[in-house]
Every structure is written in C-alpha cells, then in structure tokens.
Amino acid sequence: MANAVASGIGLAPLPAILFEDPMFKTRLSPVLMEYPLRKCMLYLVYVSRKYLPLKIVTFRDFLIERISQTPEPRPLALVVHQ
C-alpha cells in the first residue's frame, strides 16, 4: 500500500514507522492525524468447537499466545503522496 500511495494513487492507513524509512520519508505525509484510526481486529472463525482438528486447536492457541505477548504497535497514520 505504501508504494501505491507514494505513486499518488490515494490515501491509506499505514504504520507511522514508514515515515522513518528513507524510501518513503520524502514521498509520504501524514494527514488527518486528529482523527485516530481504530485498532485492527483479528477474528478466527471455524465451524464448531466440537471435534476441532488438532491443527486448528494448535493454530488458535499459537495465535492467542503470540498476540498476548506482542507489544502495542505504533499508531497507524493516514498518508498521502507529497
């Protein structure tokens, strides 16, 4: 998405860390910073809890453990081509 915005296609929610990247530093500008974006949600959907295959249970447990250990990400910013 960052490449698309840098090419002038439009706006996109991107991580603020991209503004430190030399490739995008001079090509992207944050806009609408007074309107923070909502946090992302992740949903894991499966048919039933009964008789779940072991690989699904393992994957679900991995996601739950991994997400709980992940530090809070830096905020997203809406960016526009300069």
Which is more confident, 80 or 60? 60
Query: What's the whole-number average pLDDT of the chain?
Result: 77
Side by side, the strands of the sheet bearing 28-31 are: 12-15, 76-81, 28-31
Q: Are strands 28-31 and 76-81 parallel, antiparallel or unpaired?
A: antiparallel
pLDDT(28) > 70: yes
CA distance 82 to 5: 9
Stretch 32-41: mean pLDDT, rounded? 72
Average confidence (pLDDT) over 15-23: 80
Q: What is the pTM of this model?
A: 0.46
- CA dist 73 to 6, 52, 53, 76, Å? 22, 31, 32, 9
pLDDT digits (tens, 9 = 90+) for 68-79: 876 665 655 555
Query: In the predicted model, what is the mean pLDDT of residues 50-66?
Result: 88
Residue 75 CA to residue 82 CA, distance in Å, equals: 20
Cβ(52)–Cβ(46) below 8 Å: yes
